[in-house]
Structure formats: structure tokens, C-alpha cells
Chains A and B, each alone.
Chain A
Amino acid sequence: AQSVTQPDIHITVSEGASLELRCNYSYGATPYLFWYVQSPGQGLQLLLKYFSGDTLVQGIKGFEAEFKRSQSSFNLRKPSVHWSDAAEYFCAVASGTYKYIFGTGTRLKVLA
């Protein structure tokens, strides 16, 4: 069965430090992968997507993610975190033709 695992429930980093959020997926075919961010009380905003081609994808707000098929991973990175990046981050895989399967999310806290 398709699934997405985000191993870290909470992550705390200092402002200006680098960030990596982990995502592992289980999917039989070529996956289509996404990262979304959710601020408190709000919906999901698409950060970036991977469909095919270059395995390093650039997104909005300075985020990037790298697809590694051999590790079934799609980790999200940012070289320097800003206080406004504090939010919850969700990794998702497109399953079949109509639905996304989401991980349980990683809540990011940024220390001043």
C-alpha cells in the first residue's frame, strides 16, 4: 500500500541555521511528490513538486528538495531558516489519478 512517512514529529532550529525535513515514501510506480506548508489555522500552501527529470527541485521561499529513488526519500532543505518558516510541513505522494497521500507532518519551531 502507498504510504508516506515523516519520521520527525517536531524539529527545532535556530534562526539562520540550515534545515532538513525527512520524507520517505512507499509507492510501486514512479512517484509524484509534493511538499506543502501549513501555518496555524490556515490551509496548505504548495512549496514544490517533483514529477520527473532533475532530482533536485527548487521551490518557493528558498526551499529545495531532492528525490532519491534508491532511498525512497524526498527530503526538504533550506540553507538558512527564517523565523517566519515556523509552521507544519507535509510531504505527499500522488496515488493513482485522483488523491494525495499525506504524511503526518513535521512541526518546525524556529528559535530567535
Chain B
Amino acid sequence: GAVVSQHPSRVICKSGTSVKIECRSLDFQATTMFWYRQFPKQSLMLMATSNEGSKATYEQGVEKDKFLINHASLTLSTLTVTSAHPEDSSFYICSAPRTGMNTEAFFGQGTRLTVV
């Protein structure tokens, strides 16, 4: 199957700092990528849709100025958590659909963010 790589897998940062998470589609082009957040023992909640060459679309309640998304190429989307706080600690995971007859979504490995 297709491969989506997410980096870093784990990061610890201090409150007030920013963290950038990368999501790459390694063997296919992705004009759209999705960013999800998953709190412990909870489901995946869609944060935003990343669109190559245009602005991201954010879900209701997600602060666009706090969670900056950039999709500058057909294989890379980045999520930057700005001015991180302990409540931003979570598992962040991206997915990229491989469109066509089979629109299966391929997930990155996820990033465990801990803000101290």
C-alpha cells in the first residue's frame, strides 16, 4: 500500500514554544491531507483539511492561528502548534487519501506531543 511518513514520532516541548510536525506522502501525490488529534482513550477528531497551494480548511472550534497548516507541495503538509500549552498535549496524526477507484486513506505514524 501507499506510504505516509510523519515526523517526529515523539516531541516534548516547553510551554510557549512552537512545534512543527511534517506529513509526507512518499510514493504518491496528495493534493489533500487531513490532520487529526487524538486524546488518550478517545477517538480521532478531524482538525483541518490541508489543501495543496491554498489555505487549509479548519473544523469548527479549531483555532487556525494556533494550528498553522502549510501544504506547499504535493507530497508535504506541515502542522505547526504555536505557543503550545499543556492542554495541547495529544497524539496528532495525518492522513492522505490516494484518490482514484480506491479512496483509501493512508495514515502517518502519528506524533505524540507532550507540552511541559
A and B form one complex: no
